[in-house]
Chain A
Amino acid sequence: AQSVTQPDIHITVSEGASLELRCNYSYGATPYLFWYVQSPGQGLQLLLKYFSGDTLVQGIKGFEAEFKRSQSSFNLRKPSVHWSDAAEYFCAVGSIKAAGNKLTFGGGTRVLVKP
C-alpha cells in the first residue's frame, strides 16, 4: 500500500526567507510524486510532479522539489517566500494501474508567512 507522511503540520516563515517542506513516501515501485497547494477556501492546484528522469523538479510559482530514492523523500523548496505563499501544501504519491490510477495524500503542512 502506498502512503505519504508530512512530518510538519505547521510552519511559520518570514517573508523573503527560504522554505522547505518535508515529505516521505512509502511505495513498492518507482513512485509518481506530486505537490499540491491549497489557498484558503480554494481547490487544489498542482505545483509540480515527478514521474522519472531528473530528480530535481521545477514547478510553478518558483517552487522546486528533489526526489531522493534512498531517503524515500520528495521535499519541496522555495528560495524566497512571498506573502502569497501562505497556504496548505500537500504531498501525494500516485500510481497508474489498469483498474484505476491512485493518488494518496499526506496530511498537509500549513504555511504561515510573517511580514
Chain B
Amino acid sequence: DAGITQSPRHKVTETGTPVTLRCHQTENHRYMYWYRQDPGHGLRLIHYSYGVKDTDKGEVSDGYSVSRSKTEDFLLTLESATSSQTSVYFCAISVDRDGLFTFGSGTRLTVV
C-alpha cells in the first residue's frame, strides 16, 4: 500500500529464535500499529505507537515488544518465537483526526 513498506514479506524461523519485523512509512503519520491475522479471529491489535518512543499494548501483546526510535519506523520483535506466533502480521498507519487506517502488504511468519 502507498506509503507503507513491511519487511520481510515472508520469513520462516525456528522456535526460540528472536525475530524482528519492520514497518516503514513515508507519510510522517503519528500513529502506527501492528496487527496479527489468524483464521476466525480477523485482525487483532498487538501494539501501537502514538509517537516516537510512545507505545502501548493491544489485546494480544504477550510475547511481543515494539520500538519506535524514528517517526517512520515501527519495529515488532518476537523475543523468543513460538509456534503460536505463526501468523500474518500487518502494519498500519492512521491519520490523527481522520480515523482512517492504511495497511501494509503483510508479513507471513512461520515458526517451525
B22 touches A (CB below 8 Å) = no
Collect the chain B residues with CB atoms within 8 Å of residue A67's CB: none
Question: Is the CB–CB distance between A107 and B106 below 8 Å?
Answer: no
Count contacts on B: residues with CB < 8 A to the other chain: 27
Task: List A82-107 residues whose CB lies under 8 Å from chain B.
Answer: 90, 94-96, 99-107
Partner of B100, one of A49, A100, A106, A108: A49
Question: Is the CB–CB distance between A100 and B48 below 8 Å?
Answer: yes
Count contacts on A: residues with CB < 8 A to the other chain: 25
Collect the chain A residues with CB atoms within 8 Å of residue B86's CB: none
Task: List A25-60 residues whose CB lies under 8 Å from chain B.
Answer: 32, 34, 42-44, 46, 49, 51
Partner of B90, one of A34, A44, A49, A96: A44
User: Nearest B residue to A44 by beta-carbon distance?
Assistant: B103
Q: Given the interface contacts A96-B99, A100-B31, does A43 sit within 8 Å of B105 by beta carbon?
A: yes
User: Nearest B residue to A105 by beta-carbon distance?
Assistant: B42
Interface string of B24-52 (1 = CB under 8 A from A): 00000001010100001111110011100
Interface string of B95-112 (1 = CB under 8 A from A): 011111101111000000
User: Nearest B residue to A1 by beta-carbon distance?
Assistant: B59
B14 touches A (CB below 8 Å) = no
Question: In the complex the two chains form, what is the Cα distance from A14 to B98 in whole Å?
Answer: 37
Collect the chain B residues with CB atoms within 8 Å of residue A96's CB: 97-99
Question: Is the CB–CB distance between B50 and A108 below 8 Å?
Answer: no
Question: Is the CB–CB distance between B43 and A101 below 8 Å?
Answer: no
Question: In the complex the two chains form, what is the Cα distance from A34 to B31 in whole Å?
Answer: 18
User: Shortest distance in angstroms between A30's beta carbon and chain B's nearest beta carbon?
Assistant: 12
Q: List 11 A-B contacts (CB under 8 A).
A: A4-B42, A43-B90, A46-B100, A96-B99, A100-B50, A101-B94, A103-B45, A103-B92, A104-B45, A105-B43, A108-B42
Q: Contacts A4-B42, A96-B97 known; list 20 others, CB within 8 Å.
A: A6-B42, A9-B40, A32-B99, A43-B105, A44-B90, A46-B100, A90-B43, A95-B99, A99-B56, A100-B50, A100-B56, A100-B94, A101-B96, A102-B45, A103-B33, A103-B45, A103-B92, A105-B42, A106-B42, A107-B42
